[in-house]
Every structure is written in structure tokens, then in C-alpha cells.
């Protein structure tokens, strides 16, 4: 009787203590196409490179064929590479589209070229009853981006906290991992090599990577 | 940034509630003993946050094979040992729906944190009252796995003073009730704890049915500068658990037990039932 019980306990342990597999369910996201590099004003005679990013239903960035056009080609012409040239004064739209979705920005042609915003700001708030607070700024710095948390940043201690760019306010699906959170409080900076990401995401998430728990969400104000 | 983190060890505390049915306020008579070989396990994909909300987490598990023993050094003084000689902590692998690996699973195996106690019986009449000093020896792995996230111990030496009382009821002790109040002094900057339990048992033929409530309340007195390695997981843990258990007395001197523990009103612990099974021997 002793032996049988011991054997039972042994095999129960073996079966119970194996490393299992968790399947992360696919999330379906709405398609998203965004013009990420834009000039709000363009000097007549000058050119500017417009760029756009497409997110598929998987939430991930995908390469797709983009079609560029302007609402008034007499004022502003644009090549399929996204390079636009101001031909005359006026106001028109730059439109980019895929087979199923489009995005547009207003462009004024005239005396000067003004590149749209070069910085985005936002504020953190906690999720799932964890405390995360403080301000942040995402800036274009030459050929890269720089995400800076202000000195008033603080986050609850946690295991394996990472910083993500994401378009989902409760998951990091389709997001970009910027690396491990450098400190639980105070100013800190994360460099992002791909400038295309400047306008691509709506949120900064502080995320417990090993256990898959969002700790905090930073929402861009612009 | 310190990268050494640990999984909650609060669930181990369920063991204390599950294993102690030979205890209460009653001492072991001199040269008599109660020994148990037990198996404990919990698998959780939910977690109680610091506010008590339940959130989804990557599935994690803790398993322990332990020896528990009580031995009467004198008629009043009883030595108690809880020794998890094999402890295993696991974190599941993550895959997407197409089978692509998202995150490797991992595990750590080692000895677990061990408790040794001395219990002194003050009163042994219709009500038995004892006081106990329990020392928690941090011999488990406090930062296991490639990420340092898994643990089989909390890495701190704690000392708990407790008072236990028990009373037999009915003819031939067919029923009993017991309770415990304790203060757990934790080191390494962790908050101290107030612990309590209430237990009742009933004897039917060869069966004991037991229902136990066990609780932990943090005193939240860790220093403001305290930066716990294990962040959310090991400091200021709180919960109340209810643990039903059945014991089958196969013979006069040995039997088997099975039980489960369910935590509620909890903070910073895994949100899943814990299970235990064991074989005990009385000498």
C-alpha cells in the first residue's frame, strides 16, 4: 500500500509539474494606414518626402503597395515614391491609399516649408491597479527617435518590465519592444532607430513581459 | 536596474495551513511523533494585483515534495520541521495560434525554504495552549531560471512567534477546533506579517474531515527606500484562504490525506487553488 501511494505521488508530480504551453489568441485589429512624415506647408518649387505605415488586421506593420496622389495635382504633384513637389500656391490634400484604406493630410503650398510636428507628448497612467505616472516625450532627433521619460516618472516595481510602443490600450500585440524599463523612477531615454515609428503608435505601455501583465499606459496628447 | 525578480512565494504559505492538522495547541508526547511525506502543487494563470483585482498572467506553477515532522522532545516541548526537499517552479512557454514561439518556458528545481519550530505546551487540559517559535530558513533558490524570475524560496530569514490553542469536543474527541495567532518578523526589508488561522475537524469512522481558514495581513512597515528584488510578488502579501481536507486513517499509525486551498480577499498572490496530498506516519 505504501509503495502504491508513493508511486502515485511520484507520477502525479511528474504530470503536474511539466512546463506547459500557453497559446496567445490572435487579436483582430482594424486596418490602419497613417502618414507618418508630413509637411503642413511646402514652399513652391520645393519637394518633400511623404511616408506612410500600414498595420494589417494582425496589428503588425506590413509592407503593402501604397498609392500616392493629391487632391489638386496643379498645386501639388506627388510621385508614387511619396515625393511631393509644390507647383503653385494653394491648399490641397496628400492622400495615400491601399486597396482598402486611405489616409490624408492637408498641405498648404506657398512661401515656406513647415514640417509637421517633430515631437509628441503624453502622460502615463496605471493599469490593473499598478501605479505608473509621469510625462514623456517622443522626439525626432536626426535619423532616429528619442523617447524620454520625465523626472516625474515612476512605476510600481515588477518583474521583467518592458517599454512598448503599441496601438492597443490593453496589450502589446503588434507593438514594438523598446527594451527593458531602465529604472522604476526618474528620467530615462530610449532610442528608436526607425523614424517611421514617430506617428505610428498611439500608446507607450509599461508591460510585465514574463507574466504578460500591462502595468501602465502612456497616451499621446498629439 | 536590478534584474533579479521572483515569483510570489505566498502560495507556499498555503502549505502551512494544509499540513498542520497534527498540530494545534496539542504537543506530541515525549518520544512520539507525527511524520508526513507530502506533495503540494499550484498552477495559476491568474494573479491578485496589489488592489485585489484578478488579472491574467502567463501560466506559472510551483510544486513541492516535502517532509513534515513533529517530535516530542519532552511531554511539553515539541520540535517541528517542514522540509521541502524537492521544489520546482515553472513558467509556461508562450506560442501564437500558428505555433510560433513567443517566449521560452523555463523552470528551476532545488531545495525549498525550510521551517523549523519549537513548540512549548503551556496548558494541556480541556483546552490545549502552546506557544511556538518558527524559523524560516532561506535555503531555497531566490532567483532561479535564466531570467532570474523563478524561485523556490524568498531569500529572507523570518522568525514567527505564535500562540496555538485547541479543544476537543464530543465523545472520544470526535470533533475539535483550534486556532492560531502569530507575528512573523521578516528580514531583508520585507514587511512583517500578522498571521491567523481557525480550524475545525470531525471524525467519521476512519475519516477525518477538516476545514481550515488561514490568513495573512501585512503590517506594511517596509522602509520607503526598500526596493524589493521581487517587486510586486513577495512583499506586503495578504490573503485569506479556506482549505478543506480529508484524512483517511488506513491503520492506527498511518494514513493518507488530500486537501485543497482557495484564496480570496487576496493581494499579490497567485489566484488559483492549491492542492496537496500526503502519507503520514505516527510513532
Report the half-sphere exposure of B235 (CA within 13 A, side-chain side). 22
B37 touches chain A (CB under 8 A): yes
- pLDDT recorded at residue B2: 33
Hey, are the CB atoms on A159 and B58 less than 8 Å from each other?
no
In this complex, the residue of B49, B56, B61 whose CB is nearest that of residue A212 is B56
Has residue A119 got a pLDDT over 70?
yes
Candidates A212, A214, A215, partner chain B, best to mutate (most B CBs within 10 A): A212
Q: What would you measure as the largest C-alpha separation in chain A, in angstroms?
A: 96
CB-based contact, B281 to chain A, within 8 Å: no
Nearest chain A residue to B145 by CA distance is A210
Average pLDDT over residues B213-225: 83
Q: Are residues A180 and A96 in the same domain?
A: no
Q: What is the CATH number of the domain that holds A102?
A: 2.60.40.1080
pLDDT at B195 over 80: yes
pLDDT grade for A81, boundaries at 50, 70 and 90: very high
Of the three residues A115, A148, A165, the one that is the final residue of a domain is A115
Residue A55 lies in a domain: yes
With an 8 Å Cβ cutoff, are B93 and A182 in contact? no
Confidence (pLDDT) at A134: 95
With bands split at pLDDT 50, 70 and 90, how would you rate the model's confidence at A5? low
Q: Are B7 and A210 in contact (CB under 8 A)?
A: no
Same domain, A106 and A139: no
Give B240-260 pLDDT, tens digit per residue.
999 999 999 999 999 999 999
Instruction: Give whole-number Cα distances, B101 to B56, B92, B251, in Å.
Output: 19, 11, 51
Shortest Cα–Cα distance, A69 to chain B (Å)? 38
Q: Tell me which residue of B57, B49, B150 sits closest to A24, measured CA to CA.
A: B57
Whether the pLDDT of residue B15 is over 70: the answer is no
More confident residue, B165 or B227: B165
Note the residue count of chain A: 222
Looking at the DSSP assignment, which residues form a beta bridge with residue A35?
Answer: A52
Across chain A, mean pLDDT equals 87
Q: Is the pLDDT of residue A129 over 90?
A: no
**B137 neighbors B116 (Cβ within 8 angstroms):** yes
Q: What is the pLDDT of residue A136?
A: 95
* Residue at A17 is within a domain: no
Domain residues for the domain of A49 are: 32-115
How large is the average pLDDT for residues B159-176?
Answer: 90
Decide if A160 is inside a domain: yes
Residue A113: all three cell numbers together: 516649408
8 Å CB contact between B247 and B208: yes
| A82 lies in the same domain as A175 | no
Quick check: B60 and B47 in contact, CB under 8 A?
no
CA separation for the pair A185, A202 (Å, rounded): 22
CA distance readout (Å), A186 to A124, A134, B90, B259: 13, 9, 33, 47
My answer on whether A110 and A39 are in the same domain is: yes
- B270 DSSP 8-state letter: B
Does residue A199 carry a pLDDT above 90? no
Residue with cell 511616408: A51
Residues recorded for chain B: 283
CB contact under 8 Å between A156 and B232, yes or no, is yes
**From the list A2, A19, A26, which residue is nearest B93 (CB)?**
A19
Residues A43 and A136 in one domain: no
Q: Do A6 and B256 touch (CB under 8 A)?
A: no
Contact state of B95 with A23 under an 8 Å Cβ cutoff? yes
Nearest CA in chain B to A161: B3
Asked if the structure places residue A173 within a domain, the reply is yes
The cell for B3 is: 534584474
Over residues A71-91, the mean pLDDT reads 92
Say if residue B166 is exposed, middle or buried (CB neighbours under 10 Å; 0-12, 13-18, 19+): buried
Q: What are phi and psi of A89, to 5 degrees?
A: -75, 150
A134-138, B142-146, B173-177, B242-246: range with lowest mean pLDDT = B142-146
Place of cell 507575528: B183
Q: Could you tell me what percent of chain B has a pLDDT over 70?
A: 87
Report how far residue A127's alpha carbon sits from residue A202's, in angstroms, rounded to the nearest whole number: 16
Residues from chain A contacting residue B149 (CB–CB below 8 Å) = 159-160, 210
* Mean pLDDT, rounded, for B200-209: 93
pLDDT at residue A130, as a whole number:
87
Q: Which of B75, B69, B81 is nearest to B35 (CA)?
A: B69
Domain borders along chain B are 12-282
Point out the domain boundary residue: A115, A140, A165.
Answer: A115
How much is the ipTM here?
0.73
A212 contacts in chain B (CB < 8 Å): 56-58, 94
The reply to whether A52 falls in a domain is yes
pLDDT at B259: 93
| Higher pLDDT pick, A121 / A7 | A121
C-alpha cell at B118: 519549537
> How many Å apart are CA B44 and CA B58, to the nearest integer?
8
Percent of chain B with pLDDT over 90: 55
Which stretches does DSSP call E strand in B170-227?
175-185, 193-204, 207-218
Q: How confident is the model at residue B12 (pLDDT cuts 50, 70, 90)?
A: very low
Q: Which backbone phi and psi does B151 adopt, to 5 degrees?
A: -150, 155
Interface probe for B, chosen from A17, A57, A215 (most Cβ of B below 10 Å), is A17
Residue B160: what pLDDT? 95
Question: Count of domains in chain A?
Answer: 2
- A172 belongs to a structural domain: yes
Residues 6 or more apart in contact with residue A68 via CB below 8 angstroms = A50, A78, A79, A80, A81, A82, A84, A94, A95, A96
CATH number of B12-282: 2.40.128.130
**DSSP letter for each residue of A23-70:** EEPPPP---EEEEEE-EEEEETT-EEE-EEEEE-TTSSEE----EEEE
Asked if residue A6 has pLDDT above 80, the reply is no
pLDDT greater at residue A7 or residue B17:
A7
Say if residue A117's pLDDT is above 80.
no
Task: Tell me the per-residue pLDDT of B84-115, one tens digit each, with 9 for 90 and over.
Answer: 999 998 999 988 887 888 888 999 999 999 99
pLDDT digits (tens, 9 = 90+) for A32-58: 888 887 788 899 999 999 888 898 887
| Residue ending a domain, choose from A92, A115, A138 | A115
Q: Are strands A90-97 and B33-48 parallel, antiparallel or unpaired?
A: unpaired
pLDDT at position A15, please?
Answer: 64
pLDDT value of position B17: 43
Position B184 scores a pLDDT of 95
Tell me: pLDDT of B16 over 50. Answer: no
Amino acid at each position: 500500500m505504501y509503495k502504491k501511494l508513493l508511486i502515485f505521488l511520484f507520477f502525479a508530480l511528474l504530470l503536474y509539474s511539466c512546463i506547459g504551453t500557453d497559446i496567445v489568441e490572435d487579436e483582430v485589429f482594424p486596418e490602419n494606414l497613417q502618414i507618418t512624415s508630413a509637411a503642413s506647408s511646402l514652399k513652391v518649387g520645393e519637394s518633400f518626402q511623404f511616408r506612410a505605415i500600414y498595420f494589417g488586421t494582425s496589428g503588425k506593420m506590413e509592407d503593402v503597395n501604397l498609392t500616392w496622389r493629391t487632391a489638386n495635382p496643379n498645386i501639388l504633384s506627388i510621385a508614387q515614391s511619396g515625393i511631393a513637389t509644390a507647383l503653385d500656391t494653394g491648399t490641397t490634400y496628400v492622400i495615400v491609399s491601399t486597396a482598402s484604406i486611405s489616409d490624408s493630410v492637408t498641405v498648404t503650398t506657398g512661401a515656406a516649408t513647415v514640417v509637421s510636428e517633430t515631437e509628441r507628448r503624453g502622460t502615463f497612467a496605471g493599469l490593473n491597479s499598478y501605479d505608473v505616472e509621469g510625462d514623456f516625450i517622443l522626439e525626432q532627433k536626426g535619423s532616429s527617435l528619442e523617447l524620454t521619460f520625465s523626472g516625474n516618472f515612476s512605476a510600481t516595481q515588477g518583474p521583467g518590465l518592458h517599454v512598448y510602443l503599441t496601438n492597443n490600450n490593453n496589450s502589446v500585440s503588434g507593438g514594438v519592444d523598446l527594451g527593458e524599463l531602465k529604472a522604476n523612477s526618474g528620467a530615462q531615454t530610449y532610442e528608436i532607430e526607425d523614424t517611421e515609428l514617430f506617428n505610428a503608435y498611439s500608446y507607450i505601455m509599461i508591460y510585465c513581459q514574463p507574466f504578460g501583465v500591462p502595468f501602465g499606459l502612456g497616451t499621446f496628447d498629439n | 536596474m536590478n534584474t533579479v525578480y521572483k515569483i510570489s512565494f505566498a502560495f507556499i504559505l498555503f502549505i502551512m495551513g494544509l499540513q498542520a492538522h497534527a498540530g494545534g495547541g496539542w504537543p506530541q508526547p515525549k518520544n512520539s511523533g507525527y511524520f508526513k511525506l507530502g506533495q503540494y502543487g499550484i498552477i495559476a494563470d491568474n494573479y491578485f494585483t496589489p488592489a485585489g483585482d484578478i488579472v491574467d498572467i502567463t501560466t506559472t506553477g510551483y510544486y513541492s515534495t516535502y517532509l513534515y515532522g513533529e517530535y516530542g522532545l519532552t511531554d511539553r516541548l515539541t520540535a517541528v520541521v517542514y522540509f521541502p526537499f524537492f521544489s520546482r517552479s515553472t513558467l509556461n512557454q508562450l506560442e501564437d495560434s500558428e505555433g510560433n514561439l513567443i517566449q521560452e518556458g523555463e523552470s528551476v528545481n532545488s531545495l525549498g525554504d525550510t521551517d523549523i519550530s519549537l513548540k512549548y505546551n503551556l496548558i494541556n487540559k480541556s483546552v490545549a495552549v502552546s506557544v511556538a517559535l518558527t524559523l524560516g530558513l532561506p535555503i531555497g533558490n531566490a532567483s532561479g531560471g535564466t531570467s532570474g524570475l523563478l524561485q523556490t524560496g524568498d531569500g529572507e530569514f523570518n522568525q514567527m512567534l505564535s500562540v496555538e490553542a485547541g479543544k476537543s469536543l464530543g465523545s472520544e474527541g470526535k470533533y475539535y477546533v483550534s486556532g492560531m495567532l502569530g507575528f512573523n518578523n521578516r528580514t531583508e526589508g520585507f514587511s512583517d506579517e500578522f498571521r491567523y488561522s481557525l480550524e475545525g475537524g470531525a471524525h467519521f469512522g476512519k475519516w477525518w474531515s477538516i476545514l481550515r481558514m488561514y490568513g495573512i495581513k501585512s503590517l506594511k512597515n517596509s522602509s520607503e527606500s526598500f526596493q524589493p528584488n521581487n517587486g510586486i510578488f513577495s512583499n506586503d502579501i495578504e490573503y485569506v484562504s479556506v482549505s478543506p481536507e480529508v484524512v483517511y486513517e488506513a491503520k492506527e499509525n498511518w494514513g493518507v490525506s488530500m486537501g485543497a486551498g482557495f484564496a480570496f480577499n487576496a493581494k499579490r498572490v497567485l489566484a488559483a487553488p492549491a492542492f496537496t496530498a500526503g502519507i503520514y506516519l505516527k510513532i
